[in-house]
Structure 1
Amino acid sequence: MRLVHRVRLDAGGDTAAPGGAVTGALCGHWKHDGPCRWPHSTRAIERGGALVLDITVDCPPADEDDVRRRVAAALAAGEITGPDDRRTTWELVR
């Protein structure tokens, strides 16, 4: 399954942070033991003042709604603190 979302990072934000939020939503934390329940990848591309997140998730069709909700909620939250204790915030562009 492929999902595409756009976010606007606040000044100085880490472009990898929204991808970390997606991993946290799907796996419980970006740093986790064992394989991902839903293997995924997030590619972030800067375009037109926003960050376009191209997210690919391998999940059974029965899990697609749950995965979509988790990803949307993580990105709507608009923040994450990374492993370096640096907080990055963003706005989800609808």
Structure 2
Amino acid sequence: MRTILGFYEIDRAYGGPEEGGWWYDAGTFVRVIGFFLDEAAAVRAQQRANRLLDRLQQHRTPVSSVTYTGGRYRALTFTGLPPAHYPAERPSYS
């Protein structure tokens, strides 16, 4: 099956007011980087891309900072079409 490697701009989203408020990681699809027929090759490419992104973004404001205004990216792999946003469904507090 085909595995797709894509870029996502990452952010934090407000989950709810439970126990003083909680946040979760979210992302918005930016573009496809590549298509792979072998899942292991896609994972290796994802790891390389994220290592490079970590080096390139080391001086950017962390996502967890209150002053974060966007601009951080991650590479993620998906089988089939990549979703426009992740997570696909908003998590619930448990």
Q: What TM-score comes out, normalization by structure 2 length?
A: 0.30
Structure number having the greater helix percentage: 1
Larger Rg: 2
Structure number having the greater strand percentage: 2
Q: What TM-score comes out, normalization by structure 1 length?
A: 0.30
